[in-house]
Amino acid sequence: MKLEGKSVILTGAAGGIGAMLAEALAARGARVALVDRNAGALEEIQERLMNRGGQALAIPADLLDPAQLATVVEQARLGLGGIDLLINVAGLLSFRPFAEEDPALLERIVQLNLITPMLLARQALPHLLKAGSGRIVNVGSTFGSIGFAWFSAYSASKFGLRGFSEALRRELDGTGVGVTYIAPRAVRTKLNTGAIYRMAEAVKMNMDEPDWVVAQIMAAIDRDAKDVYLGFPEKLFVRINALLPRLVDSALRQQNRVMAAFARESLR
Ligand SMILES: NC(=O)c1ccc[n+]([C@@H]2O[C@H](COP(=O)([O-])OP(=O)(O)OC[C@H]3O[C@@H](n4cnc5c(N)ncnc54)[C@H](OP(=O)(O)O)[C@@H]3O)[C@@H](O)[C@H]2O)c1
Q: 134-172, pLDDT tens digit by residue?
A: 999 999 999 999 999 999 999 999 999 999 999 999 999
Q: How confident is the model at residue 249 (pLDDT cuts 50, 70, 90)?
A: very high
Mean pLDDT across 194-223: 97
All structural domains of the chain, each given as residue ranges with its CATH number in brackets, are 7-265 (3.40.50.720)
Ligand 1 centroid – CA 174 distance (Å): 32
Ligand 1 contact via 37 beta carbon (within 6 Å): yes
pLDDT for the residue numbered 246: 97
193: helix, coil or strand?
coil
Q: What is the chain's mean pLDDT, rounded?
A: 97
pLDDT for the residue numbered 77: 98
Mean pLDDT across 25-49: 98
Mean pLDDT across 122-135: 98
- In the chain, the DSSP E strands lie at 7-11, 31-36, 55-60, 85-88, 134-139, 177-183, 186-187, 207-208, 227-229
Tell which atom from ligand 1 comes closest to the C-alpha of 18.
16
According to DSSP, the residues that pair with 227 across neighbouring strands are: 181
Q: What values do phi and psi take at 215, rounded to 5? A: -60, -35
Q: Is the pTM of this model over 0.95?
A: yes
- Residue with CA nearest ligand 1 atom 39: 15
Is 90 exceeded by the pLDDT of residue 22?
Answer: yes
Ligand 1 centroid – CA 36 distance (Å): 9
Ligand 1 contact via 213 beta carbon (within 6 Å): no
Q: At a CB cut-off of 8 Å and minimum separation 6, what does 217 contact? A: 17, 21, 87, 137, 139, 182
Ligand 1 centroid – CA 48 distance (Å): 20
pLDDT per residue as tens digits for the range 185-199: 999 999 999 999 999
Told to judge if 181 belongs to the known catalytic residues of this protein, a careful annotator would answer no
pLDDT per residue as tens digits for the range 172-185: 999 999 999 999 99
Mean pLDDT across 93-105: 98
Ligand 1 centroid – CA 216 distance (Å): 17
Mean pLDDT across 127-135: 98
How far apart CA 146 and CA 167 sit, in angstroms, is 19
Mean pLDDT across 39-63: 97
Ligand 1 contact via 144 beta carbon (within 6 Å): no
Ligand 1 centroid – CA 91 distance (Å): 4
Mean pLDDT across 256-263: 97
Is 90 exceeded by the pLDDT of residue 252?
Answer: yes
Q: Of the residues 9, 189, 212, which should be mutated to test ligand 1's pocket, given the most ligand atoms within 8 Å of the CB? A: 189
pLDDT > 90 in the chain, percent: 99
Q: Of the residues 42, 187, 207, which should be mutated to test ligand 1's pocket, given the most ligand atoms within 8 Å of the CB? A: 187
pLDDT for the residue numbered 267: 87
Is 90 exceeded by the pLDDT of residue 1?
Answer: yes
**How many Cβ atoms are within 10 Å of 204's Cβ, its own excluded?**
8
Report CA Rg, the chain.
18
Q: How confident is the model at residue 268 (pLDDT cuts 50, 70, 90)?
A: confident
On the 0-12 / 13-18 / 19+ scale of CB atoms within 10 A, 95 is buried
How far apart CA 56 and CA 76 sit, in angstroms, is 10
Ligand 1 contact via 72 beta carbon (within 6 Å): no
31: helix, coil or strand?
strand
Q: How confident is the model at residue 266 (pLDDT cuts 50, 70, 90)?
A: confident
